[in-house]
Structure formats: C-alpha cells, structure tokens
Structure 1
Amino acid sequence: MKPHNLFTPFLLLLLVAATAHAANIGVCYGRVADNLPPPPSAVNLLQSNSISKIRLFNPDPSALSAFSGEADIRLMIGVPNEILPQIANGTGDFAADWLTSNIFSHVIPTQVSHLAVGNEILFKDPFYTPHLLPALHNFHGALKKLGLSDNISISTPHAASVLATSYPPSAGAFVPYILPVLHPLLRFLAHARAPLMINIYPYFTYAADPINVPLAYALFDPSAPVVRDNGLEYTNMFDATVDAFVAALEREGFGELEVVVTETGWPTAGGVGADVEKARRYNGEIVKRVLGGVGTPRRPSAPVEVFLFGLFDENGKGGEEFERHFGIFHSNGEKAYDISFA
C-alpha cells in the first residue's frame, strides 16, 4: 500500500473530528493471547462501546489495517524496545522511512495521536537505555520531516518504579541514579512539547502489602482515609501517584510537562484482591473521572489522559497469574463486568 498523502483538507477534517474525542478514555489493546477475536471484530467492539482511543503496543500490520480509515478511533502506537537500536543508529531519513513503512502505510497519519517509543526501559529493560534518547530524536525529526510533529506526540512510557519517593505526594522524587539519563530525556520532552508517560497500578501496591495499604484508598472508595499533604487532600492512590510524578517533575525543573497515564487497571482474578467487583469499581471510577474532566489535587484544572489496561485477557503473558486477567471484555465480546464508556 502506498503511503497516504499527509496534507489534504479531508485529512484535516478527520483530525478535527478525532480531536473532539479527546476527553474519552483510552484502552490498551494487548494481543499476547491465542484466543482473541480478529482485529476487525475488536474494532467493531470498540465502536459499539464508544471507545475512541486505543494503545497498540507494536505496529502489527493486521491490527493497524483493521483501524485504517476509522477516523472515530485515535491510536497510540508503540515502538517495541528491540527496534530502538536500529532507529538510534540510523538517520532521521531512516526513521521517516520506518514510520512510513510500518505505520503510515497502514493507517492515515491523522488517526495517530501518540508514538510511544519503547516501554518501561529504564528499569525493566535497561539494555536499551543508551538507545532511547537517540531514537526519540530521530523519530521526532522524522515526524517534523513528514509534517506531523504538531499532531503526533512522541514520548516513552515509564514504570512507576522510576520514583524513589511517592509518599506523601509532595515528596515525589525520581530515583537518583537515573537522573543522568532522565534529565536529557525530560529536556527532549519539554522541547518537543510532549508528555511524560507513566504506567501506574494501585493494584500492585495493594497486592504487595494488603495489610498496610488500605484497599479503599486503592479503589476510590468514599470510606478511604484522607491523606492531607501541604494543604491538599488525597482520597485515592491514583491521584496521589500522579501528583507524586508531578512533584518529581517540579523538583527537577520540568513542572510544565503534562502527564499521561499510559496504563492502569485492576485484574479480575489471579491474585490478592483481584476480582470482578473490584475491577469494576476501579476501572469504572477511572472512566467517570476522565469523562468528567477531573484533575488531581495538585493540578485540578488539568484532566489526566488515561489508558485502561486492557481490552482482553491475555493468556500468553508471563509473570504472576493476575497478569493474564486484566481484560475488560471476554474474547467473545461480552463485558467482564458492567462498565460504560459513554
């Protein structure tokens, strides 16, 4: 397929229409499973449930092609960690060719809202750390060359473990030994007007210490204890964690950066506190907050863009049993629990 023309009035209209959905919740479309419906069926499922933002973890052609021309769904597309060395060691032209061949030959460029370069590299895949920033620079240059840098945001998702301190939120601070790498990355994000992407899971914190971490605080329950911190009040762990990242950014002189939550969710089975009702409560509250434009105590007027994990259970994932049970939908398209995205 030939690359799409990037500069037609029709495409600009598509971009305007897609932007109208900016307040909608995003959902991660992981595909590490052998029992999932084909991508066209997944697209129909998304549309029938008013889900207009999706995170794909890699530019799989079969998945991308299913979204081609679906202007009502905007995409965050991941670049796998193992691709970074060739992008970092190449040129801007090579990065542009890679984007055109692997992404823009399958979907209209205005369908893409974010490029997520790598995932949780600094702690979970540190081998690729030296390649991360050069790859980001080359991709950003490629987007500028293609005339897309104003419309496609580029960043890299981080695990919550990049924070050395997250409690109380105002004490948020990054792990000191990653600062030599993190500072140039934050400067790049500021220059590119791109967000800090973070993956945060209150479930992990609760499951690791259910005796000392109040379940109500993790689940947005009204009975949760109120944490008072420098004149602000926190009633849930999600807000507190986001604001800990904001405080950490401010501490390093990058308080202007937006924060996007690229993964969060609650499992329906497989671990301490993992069940259908708790997943419904957590994810339902996240959806309600996003649709309501709710900010955090530290940034009350700045709604947080959030991508829920995930669309389906993934029986091929490794790790703890609960890792395979985050699906909002069953593979037959039925909801795992009652949740509305409209």
Structure 2
Amino acid sequence: MSPLIFLNIELVLLVIFSASEFSFTVSGSVKSNGVCYGENGDNLPPPSEVIDLYKSNNIRSIRLYGPNQDALKALKNSNIPVILGVPVSDVPSLASNPSAAASWIQNNVLSFLPDVTFRYITVGNQQIYGNEAGNILPAMQNVQKALQSAGLQDRIKVSTAVGTDVLGSSYPPSHGTFAFKALPILQPIIDFLAANGAPLRVNVYPYDSYSSNPNDISIDYALFTSPGTVVTNGQLQYQNLFDAIVDAVYSALELSGKSNVAVVVSETGWPSEGGLAATAANAQTYVSNLMKHVVSGTPKRPGSIEAYIFEMFDEDIKQPQGTENHYGLFYPNKQPKYSLSS
C-alpha cells in the first residue's frame, strides 16, 4: 500500500458471511473486484493453501505483487484472473534490456498459459517519486513489446500503480490535478496508457486522508456511512470520500488530455489496529460498504468501479510497523478476522 479481457465478464463481489465463514458471491453485471495477496509476513500459509482460500471463498480476482511461482502454479485452471506485478527490483533490467523483458514474460506469463488467466501486468507500485521512477515507462514499453510479440497485447494490459500523492489538488473533485513534480514522469505514462487502452491503477485509501486530518474529514464520510451529501461540487454530490478521490483522479486525467484513460482502484482497505480509528469494526464497515458501493460507480463516472481490497492477510514484517501491518481479511490460520454482511 502506503484494486476480463479473457472472457470480458464483468462482475461484482457481494458478501455473505457468518462469523466462521468468509464467502464472496457474485451478482449482477458490474466490474470485477478482487483481493490483494501481499507476502510480507513470516507466518502466512503456503501459496497453495492461500489460493485454495481464494477458491473456497469465491474470490474472483487476485493481485500478486511479484511472480510467485508457487502461487501461479496453484492458480492453474482456477479461472481466477491475475493482476501480476513486476517488483521494483526487476524494473531496471526490464527497462534497459528488451530481452530481459521478453524472458520475464516467457517465464512468468507464457509458461503458465493457457491455464492461468492474466489480466494486467503492473510495473512497479507507487514508484512515481521513487528511485526507479525514470525506469517505469521504459520497463512498461519493453513488457508491452514482449506481449505484442506473443500476440497478447489485447488480452493483457500493461500499467503501473500510483498512490494518491500524485495529486497536487483533489478538492473539490472537479479541481483534481496531478502534482507538478509528478508530471514529468506521470504524463508520458498516461500517454502510454491512452495509446494502449490500459487503465491507470490507483491505490485509494480514505483511511489515510481521514487519519491525517480528522478535524476536517468526518469518519462517516470515510466509511461510506454519511446519511446524506457531504460535498456538493457543481452538479455532482458526494456522500463518501472514496468517490471524491477517484473523481479527482478522473479530473486530473481530463486536464492531462487523456479522459479516455480509466481508473482502476488497485488497492483500498481499512486497518483493524495500529492507528486512529483502526478497529476491526471500522474495517468491517469499510469493506462491506465498499463492496456494495462499487455497483454504482462515482458521481463523475457512474456505472461501476473495478477495485481490489487490500489485503488477504496481515503482513507482520512489513515496514514501517503500524497500520500497514493490519489490513488483512484473514488471520494466518485462514479464519476470517471479522464477519461481513451484504
């Protein structure tokens, strides 16, 4: 942190839970949602058991932050779409060497086809301001070329994931702009996405906005529980912070000249401990309401939202310690941390 080209099936995850069972069920015809699988923990189940947990709970999509071979093997014939990450450690070689990108795609994608369904390749995660910022686009371009050579450019889209720190302005949502310091790296990436019909993947955390500014942002606005409109922005009315953030990104994309680039929420969630209002009850409320909300889209872009919940398990060795360690839906023993209801 800091979410069908194959069959083009659009789905939404609604949830039916008891205290001892965590079960996603599919309903309607809106976009796919999934759960991120982070691995920065020293007590997590083996990948084969994790994928079994996805299957048994009818979780319809998975985000992997790197090419975990055991997880990819377990995903064979599962019909679970995969968002596969290129970890930052691989970015320099893929950026500088097209052959390295071709080998990466061969080893981590082609060798698992057709048994694994890949939807996106996500090059880096929140690296726009990182040491590898200048390598993100060249790596994306080389990965794209490798997919084109395999005839997969229409089935698997290449993108990157950014944080909302790329926004210079986000209030009101119609005034959303990208930060001046981000644009030299971000604008060419957006141009690439537009040219290839790929979305911008954005990690969206209302919790971060609320916890850093609780005097001006109400917790109801962050948790989807406001009883009415909180922000009126021209003709648009906002009842939750999630929509306001997503629409600010859309406004920034419009200002950049690329209104055709879609936004996919590549991570979103609420911590169950470790900080202000970080409780299991609030996490339960946020995730449950999010899943019901994605059906309707945002005020600027009604229809549906594609979003990925962060995350499957708590990551106890992730740094810095604090809320980052407490976003999991499940305990390491594979029991649900809290129950949800639709």
TM-score (norm 1): 0.89
Question: Is 1:19 aligned to 2:23, yes or no?
Answer: no
Aligned to 1:52: 60
Residues 340 and 329 from structure 1, CA distance in 2 versus in 1: closer, same or farther, beyond 3 angstroms?
farther
TM-superposition CA deviations, 1:241-273 (whole Å, max 9, x none): 000000001011111110000000000111100
Measured in 2, the distance between the counterparts of 1:320 and 1:218 equals 23
Measured in 1, the distance between the counterparts of 2:266 and 2:100 equals 27
Task: Could you tell me which runs of 5 or more consecutive residues in structure 2 were left unpaired when the two chains were aligned.
Answer: 12-29
Given candidates 294, 298, 302, the residue that maps to 1:296 is 298
Shift of 1:24: 3.4
Q: Which has the higher contact order (CA 8 A, sep 6+)?
A: 2
Aligned to 2:84: 77
Measured in 2, the distance between the counterparts of 1:225 and 1:195 equals 29
Paired residue type of 1:171: H
Bigger share in helix: 1
Q: Is the Cα contact below 8 Å between 2:82 and 2:120 reproduced in 1? A: yes
Given candidates 62, 72, 93, the residue that maps to 2:70 is 62
Paired residue type of 2:33: I
TM-score (norm 2): 0.89
Task: Could you tell me which runs of 5 or more consecutive residues in structure 1 were left unpaired when the two chains were aligned.
Answer: 1-11
Aligned to 1:103: 109
Q: Is the Cα contact below 8 Å between 2:91 and 2:132 reproduced in 1? A: yes
Measured in 2, the distance between the counterparts of 1:231 and 1:20 equals 28
Given candidates 273, 276, 295, the residue that maps to 2:277 is 273
TM-superposition CA deviations, 1:111-151 (whole Å, max 9, x none): 1011100110112x2x1111111111111111111111101
Shift of 1:216: 0.5
Paired residue type of 1:276: A
Shift of 1:181: 2.0
Shift of 1:297: 0.2
Aligned to 1:118: 124
Q: Is the Cα contact below 8 Å between 2:159 and 2:201 reproduced in 1? A: yes
Q: Is the Cα contact below 8 Å between 1:59 and 1:78 reproduced in 2? A: yes
Q: Is the Cα contact below 8 Å between 1:61 and 1:106 reproduced in 2? A: no
Paired residue type of 1:337: Y
The runs of at least 4 consecutive aligned structure 1 residues that moved more than 6 Å come to none
Q: Secondary structure at the match of 1:122?
A: coil
Percent identity among equivalent residues? Answer: 39
TM-superposition CA deviations, 1:47-89 (whole Å, max 9, x none): 1211010000000112211112212x11001001121111111
Paired residue type of 2:70: S
* 1:161-200 superposed matches below 5 A: 161-200=165-204
Measured in 2, the distance between the counterparts of 1:243 and 1:270 equals 29
Q: Secondary structure at the match of 1:46?
A: helix
Aligned to 1:3: none
Q: Is the Cα contact below 8 Å between 1:163 and 1:245 reproduced in 2? A: yes
Deviates further, 212-221 or 61-70 = 61-70
